[in-house]
Structure 1
């Protein structure tokens, strides 16, 4: 039997599936617009966007428009005011309810099912071929808001009511804003958890630090950190390498206050760091200063965003409060 390269092998028991066509447009051709510096994509990554809610997708231009969002609600990008896709008659006409489908989740499932199965196949192949690292797969659903940003090539008339077209959407850059209003989280804690018969435990403060490695220029070291016992510093909890996404499906949910992102990714957990490497990273993390006045909650002294040996450099930081049921 002739040799088959690993990247051309098929999963046993089932042929490779073809990804489903993405309604409106497939963002696969727009990789550069949606790449982020700490997330990798494969040659097989499926990127798609579609709207959910309208009973007749052909009436997009007459029933959907862009709504500008205030800078106070969402952080602006390069000084450009973000736009959100909304139903033009939302809350204004009782009859518009006839234009919205009653079970949008069924449409979501139908649009992503084949893509999920295909991405699982690619993810399984990656795990089978992994040698030096442990690959951790995950499927994540996030609620937030899909934001669109215009460009100089898009005229203002293209963003007006009744003129929104597929061509306009293709020219626009987009991002997924994961912040949700405090009222949303209060509702989840007070109502949803109660209906499930669960209760929240005390929140855990987590800090995320992304480091570039001068010896591995294509790798990003992701550090998950917790607050030290003295509450004056953070300490290293876990180290991971690049996150690789195999599928990203962004959905604008018309008639609802939140949009949805569904993605499949893998993380390679580093298994063989030397004591010297670990200590260099730990020292860099420990030099951070807790500061509630900055958005991320931590900062470094000026000119101190690199490790003592100069190998690791801080590129991005983040902060979340994790709560468990």
Structure 2
């Protein structure tokens, strides 16, 4: 029987069920609770957490303005209904100020720990990154919790803290189209570049807690070529904010990237051989496949995932905006999906944090300015969520 790659195999059941929010959560997030003393990585290394990673959730936008969730009710949703149209409620007050005050201590603490670790280990090629992501926070109950009864009763912070959550970032085409057509001119960013990139994710048996991300491009000969390899980023802080008066929720995340600089010629050649053996195939998720036996290099490197991303970027001195279409396939879970998402890189805040003598109030002011921009242009978007 001819070999069929996992991502081209068909189930005996022709109509597979619609993926649920629970099925979209990495196995790590489903089975492990974050604790500061543990190394944190899911099985494929897609998400890696530092030992001091901070994870928080809170809600803003309630009528009484004090963050009390007693007037909120949960209701079951499908993934498709994340893109529903919501009521157009006006924002009361300036929630970005309270958000900035709420998260500033965590941001400063996380950044100082990143700085101390990199200076201690003399890691000159580590780059901190802070981003804002937009989507919907989905809560999932444990098997011991009856979500049906929870959804009919008032929700408290205690109840929500017991629920697992995931941040679903796939956005409607109308939303991403409006960002490019209207928002970029309003927030003062200039066109930077368009990129069509394949990211091949490799496991390394000598570094089980990391993934090597290989950025590749397609040359005129229709062959994939490697131009950059780096370790997967390490997440240091992620704060999910349910924006109850708005169309979307917000995630603020701080991580640090690690560039590969010490690879031997043999190691680099092994990785290049893996990349060179890939075959372009638009009919499979991720757009790439490997001939039988060619998705591994010896007993060290193996292909564990593919991302084909087409993105348009805009920037100014303090922010970088990326509107991205991604076609993904994960070899570990054999699950593939495509999505449109928006990422806002907060460069000015990171630059400020890198300054040794920066005043706390200066970081706070930059954070408030960025959150104000986000609130007015990225979260107030109900007409574009249908």
TM range (shorter): 0.7 to 0.9
User: Hey, what does 1:170 align to over in structure 2?
Assistant: 161
Deviations along 1:17-40, whole A, 9 cap, x unmatched? xxxxxxxxxxxx9318x9543333
Query: Which of 68, 74, 77 is the equivalent residue of 2:77?
Result: 68
1: distance between equivalents of 2:255 and 2:67?
33
Structure 1 residue 112: Cα displacement: 0.8
Compared with structure 1, are the counterparts of its residues 265 and 111 closer, same or farther at alpha carbon in structure 2 (3 Å cutoff)?
A: same
Q: Give structure 2 stretches of 5+ with no counterpart.
A: 1-31, 315-386
Query: Which of 216, 219, 223 is the equivalent residue of 1:233?
Result: 223
Query: Which of 301, 307, 314 is the equivalent residue of 2:303?
Result: 314
Compared with structure 1, are the counterparts of its residues 219 and 35 closer, same or farther at alpha carbon in structure 2 (3 Å cutoff)?
A: closer
1: distance between equivalents of 2:251 and 2:68?
23
User: Hey, what does 1:282 align to over in structure 2?
Assistant: 272
Structure 1 residue 122: Cα displacement: 0.6
User: Hey, what does 1:215 align to over in structure 2?
Assistant: 206
Check the 8 A contact 1:61/1:162 in 2, yes or no: no
1: distance between equivalents of 2:220 and 2:81?
35
User: Hey, what does 1:267 align to over in structure 2?
Assistant: 257
Secondary structure of 1:251's partner?
A: strand
2: distance between equivalents of 1:55 and 1:281?
55
Structure 1 residue 214: Cα displacement: 1.6
1: distance between equivalents of 2:216 and 2:246?
34
Secondary structure of 1:241's partner?
A: strand
Check the 8 A contact 1:209/1:225 in 2, yes or no: yes
Structure 1 residue 305: Cα displacement: 2.1
User: Hey, what does 1:91 align to over in structure 2?
Assistant: 87
Deviates more, 1:133-142 or 1:201-210: 201-210
Query: Which of 276, 282, 287 is the equivalent residue of 1:292?
Result: 282
1: distance between equivalents of 2:127 and 2:111?
13
Alignment length (residue pairs): 276
Check the 8 A contact 1:154/1:171 in 2, yes or no: no
1: distance between equivalents of 2:268 and 2:224?
15
Structure 1 residue 280: Cα displacement: 0.9
Secondary structure of 1:180's partner?
A: coil
2: distance between equivalents of 1:71 and 1:31?
28
C-alpha RMSD of the superposition:
2.9
Check the 8 A contact 1:157/1:163 in 2, yes or no: no
Q: Aligned pair 1:253/2:243, yes or no?
A: yes
Structure 1 residue 284: Cα displacement: 0.7
2: distance between equivalents of 1:253 and 1:284?
44
Structure 1 residue 113: Cα displacement: 0.8
2: distance between equivalents of 1:314 and 1:44?
29
TM-score of the superposition, structure 1-length normalised? 0.75
Deviations along 1:270-293, whole A, 9 cap, x unmatched? 111111111111111122222333
Compared with structure 1, are the counterparts of its residues 191 and 245 closer, same or farther at alpha carbon in structure 2 (3 Å cutoff)?
A: same
Q: Aligned pair 1:30/2:33, yes or no?
A: yes
User: Hey, what does 2:53 align to over in structure 1?
Assistant: 45
Compared with structure 1, are the counterparts of its residues 159 and 321 closer, same or farther at alpha carbon in structure 2 (3 Å cutoff)?
A: farther
Deviates more, 1:183-192 or 1:52-61: 52-61
